[in-house]
Structure 1
Amino acid sequence: MFLLQKHYVYRVMMLETVAAVPGMVGGMLLHLRSLRKFEHSGGWIKALLEEAENERMHLMTWMEVKRPNWFARALVFIVQGGFFNTYFLAYLLSPRLAHRVVGYLEEEAVYSYTKMLAAIDNGIIPNGPAPSIAIDYWRLPPNATVRDVVVVIRADEAHHRDVNHFAADVHEQGKVLRDAPAPVDFH
């Protein structure tokens, strides 16, 4: 049972490591474009940076649940570094493709968290108390559990999926993001 619990937590930690990159890259590139062209972003800079911060909090939450050893931390460093550079280039070449890839990545996260919920409900993963960082960030009740955390994170991931597919659709229609107001303040 411990092995399965460990497997789920490491899986979501690796997903969150990668998922925390696109919002930062997209927000940064839109910010720089906005400065160069003296134009607004339609709220997309804020939306993407909020997404990056939200994903970072997912990672911080799971790191509090399962304190990673040096190998896991090194893997996070390598995966994040490789993905950052790849995603940066992808976003420069095709923002539509970059957002679509993130939409699918977020779909995988929703799937993973749904499986994690099932494992908690079936007693495979113990449903202990929620980490304090999660209680504070999501304003959960003091008696919140790990299951409650998985539910709110899965909802975040579903929102990120929808936002990124929407952004890809905007680009697919030949528009730029500033022409379609960004969904902000979801958290």
Structure 2
Amino acid sequence: MKRFVGGSLMRGVVNGCNRSGGGICGSRMMSSVAEKKEIGNGVEAKNEEKEKAVVSSYWGISRTNIKRQDGTEWPWNCFMPRDTYEADLSIDLTKHHAPKVFLDKFAYRTVKLLRIPTDLFFRRRYGCRAMMLETVAAVPGMVGGMLLHLRSLRKFEQSGGWIKALLEEAENERMHLMTMVELVKPKWYERLLVLTVQGVFFNAFFAVYLLSPKLAHRVVGYLEEEAIHSYTEYLKDINSGAIENVSAPAIAIDYWRLPKDATLKDVITVIRADEAHHRDVNHFAAHCIEYKDRLDNSLWHFLLSQVWVEGEAECMCNLPINKNIPCNLCAESANHLDQYV
């Protein structure tokens, strides 16, 4: 019986591959354009009939014909037009969460300590620094999203949207890295450093998130504050002429919907705005975790939400309250929210 099942399975694999081009092959070889000669970077040799480059399909599925708003073909496989957006440049870049409790102070001082070797190694080479920074910054969102995903499956409960938010943060940071790689060509020892730092940071952050999600999010919040500072210094060097204000990479123009004549300065500006958004999200996440138990079990907060349906403001918990009566859970009135986010 086992021999029969194994033989049937093998014949199915062989026949399926024969229909896709012949032989036993992986999904890469089953690409609809696999018979064409590759010229590198995932782009096939030009089709003699159509006279245009064809993007290879890694999973063996031909991509639908996607176009930009101006009618030209969409060139990217790593993101689609629906993933693009315009960065919010009006976001407050100076906002800082003042550490008060022990965990916040520990997170703040840890981040400051980690900055010392970074400053010594990269000095004012902000392109290479940004590349390293984005390699690390893309880890927390993936770790947090993965652990919350598993928790949701274990406990049969919703995540409140945090899984998607954290995974989108990780994807956004990855796009920062893809952009910086277009601008900075890392040397072999910098690639080795990236490999080492990423391996150490992933495992360390994974352990921290298991032990204290609040501490993990607070660390990320302070990391993003340092990232804002680094990109601000980057912009200063561009404005002073120390760093050439070259044209923006095509991937950045499409991802952030920048004008065609956008420059490096425009790219760094939108990346810095993204980091400010991630800062607010992670500080807010740490605050939500701190008050989660009281939010879930408080009759007082429920009564407030019913009494002040026409309240003049909202508390941290997004429920209407009166400005003169502090939220019993957040322990602050709506006039004092700036210190949290």
TM-score of the pair, normalised by structure 2: 0.50
Relative to structure 1, the CA distance from residue 40 to residue 154 in structure 2 (aligned partners, 3 Å threshold; closer, same or farther) is: same
- SS of equivalent to 1:142: coil
Report the AA paired with residue 239 of structure 2. D
**Which residue does the alignment assign to 1:26?**
144
Kindly indicate whether residue 217 of structure 2 is the aligned counterpart of residue 94 of structure 1.
no
* 1:113-128 alignment, distance < 5 Å: 113-128=231-246
Who is 1:185 aligned against? none
What SS does the aligned partner of 2:287 have?
A: helix
Percent of aligned pairs with the same amino acid: 69
Equivalent residue runs for 1:25-174 within 5 Å: 25-174=143-292
Would the alpha carbon gap of residues 177 and 65 (structure 1) be closer, same or farther in structure 2, given more than 3 Å must change?
Answer: farther
Q: Which structure 2 residue ranges, 5 or more long, are not aligned?
A: 1-121, 298-316, 319-341
* Greater alpha carbon shift after TM alignment, 27-36 vs 66-75: 66-75
Q: 1:176 to 1:140 in 2, by over 3 A?
A: farther
Report the Cα distance in structure 2 between the residues aligned to 1:102 and 1:136, rounded to whole angstroms: 27
CA contact (8 A) 1:96 1:167 kept: yes
8 Å CA contact retained: 1:26, 1:91: yes
CA RMSD across the alignment? 2.2
Residues 178 and 130 from structure 1, CA distance in 2 versus in 1: closer, same or farther, beyond 3 angstroms? farther
Classify the secondary structure of the residue corresponding to 2:125. helix
Residues 63 and 39 of structure 1: CA distance in aligned 2, closer, same or farther (over 3 Å): same
**Structure 1 gap segments, 5+ residues each:** 182-187
Higher gyration radius (CA): 2
More helix per residue: 1
Deviations 1:83-142 (A, max 9, x none): 000000000000000000000000000000111111111111111100111111111111
Report the alpha carbon displacement of residue 50 of structure 1 after superposing the two structures with TM: 0.4
Q: Give 1:174 shift.
A: 4.0
